[in-house]
Amino acid sequence: MKGTGSLSKYWMFTDEYTQNPYPILAQLRAEQPVAKVETPDGVRAWAVTRYEDVRTALSDPRFSRDIRKLYGSLGRQLGKELKVEEELTNQLANVDPPRHTPLRKGLSFAFTPKRVRGLREGWPEVVDNLIDEMLRAGGNDLNSGLAEPLPIISIAQLMGVPDSDWPRFLVWTTTLRVVDASDPTGIKARHSRELSEYLQDLIARKERNPGDDLLSALIHAEGDKRLTADETLSSAFGVMTGGNDTTTAMINSTFTTLLTHAGARERITSDFSELPNAMEEILRFTSPVINSLQRVTLEPVELGGVVIPKDEIVIISIQSANHDASVFPDRPDELDLDRGRPSHVSFGYGIHYCLGNHMAKALTEVAVRRVFERFPGVRLAVDPSELRYQPGLVVRPLVSLPVVFGTPAS
């Protein structure tokens, strides 16, 4: 790329960017750190790429996460009114203070590291079952066979949902992830309604017969930790849908990193106690969340030397911030497990910092450990250059992650 002036206005949605975004992002950080971009259907947005500007946009209250405001801005650009599903309007990720504060308090009370630790004991068996099922079917795709279903099952367990229902959640959450807000086919609205109806029934059952799960904890909380009925439904909806694609991306990116970096793989597989610390650098290096959920400016805001007008959509590039040489000066585009604990922004920053980060990391660690323990010689089935990514605004999903498992450990 000769300069940002040569970029198409659709640069973020080109295949060149999807397959290898880092050269374009490096050029933007240097020349145009707050850059205009347009979606294929004509929506204008502003992309923020420098680390310090990214942290500002993630934490400054002038950048709103109110989903009603976002849909309003989208609708004005598209010239039509966009309906917001009611289940989205009370979700923690979709509201600003003051509504955000009691929601986060209630969810923090129920969604604890202790609860995740209790579930973690059973995850190796879940991973083994998924691997065994994949092998019986003659499959070799870690994406479809492991990384996609594993978060669905684990969240179902967290919420107290029978594991037999996870295939339905996979269908629902895939639709809600890939269908845009304009929903021209109506399938997003239908699947949103089906998931909402299921959760309403589940909540009713948990009200009568509580268990040791997150949903029961939300329903039966007391005092200022108790949510309203609508907030409980929206929070359940958000937990069931909010972390699946990002955790899938994290599992895939961790496997891809270790399968293409022999030194890091040898170091971790010879001592798995190194994996939790290594995960922080892997998260910085790969950035499974490529952009945060979009914001809307509540007033004109100057950022990176550019004034973004009021009521504009802002795309905050997490993967660009995590490769910013001004913050990571020592070879930011390389993996370095001795970098120390980097201040990556893969889980966000500010009041919307990801509440489920501990669960996503723990699940990824279990998946990685079990695969390498069972199949020490596992390797990619294709050259790394043949791995293909799908376009996305929040995650960049792998099309597939084919491997050769090799001889099982004795």
Going from N- to C-terminal start, the domains of the chain cover 4-404
Residue 390's alpha-carbon distances to 13, 133, 178, in angstroms, are: 10, 26, 11
Q: What is the pLDDT of residue 167?
A: 79
- At a CB cut-off of 8 Å and minimum separation 6, what does 36 contact? 9, 44, 45, 46, 47
Q: What is the pLDDT of residue 2?
A: 46
- At a CB cut-off of 8 Å and minimum separation 6, what does 355 contact? 92, 104, 107, 108, 111
Strand positions, DSSP E, 284-334: 295-297, 301-303, 306-308, 313-316
Burial of 302 (0-12, 13-18, 19+ CB in 10 A): exposed
Q: What is the pLDDT of residue 289?
A: 93
Is this prediction's pTM over 0.85?
A: yes
Distance CA 264, CA 285 (A): 13
Q: What is the pLDDT of residue 341?
A: 67
Ranges under pLDDT 70 in the chain: 1-5, 177-182, 341-342
Q: What is the pLDDT of residue 114?
A: 85
According to CATH, the superfamily of the domain at 4-404 is Cytochrome P450 (1.10.630.10)
Q: What is the pLDDT of residue 180?
A: 65
160: number of CA atoms within 13 Å, CB side?
A: 23
Q: What is the pLDDT of residue 55?
A: 97
Contact 12, 317 (CB under 8 A): no
Q: What is the pLDDT of residue 111?
A: 81
- Report residue 315: phi and psi, to 5°: -105, 125
Q: What is the pLDDT of residue 182?
A: 63
Q: What is the pLDDT of residue 244?
A: 85
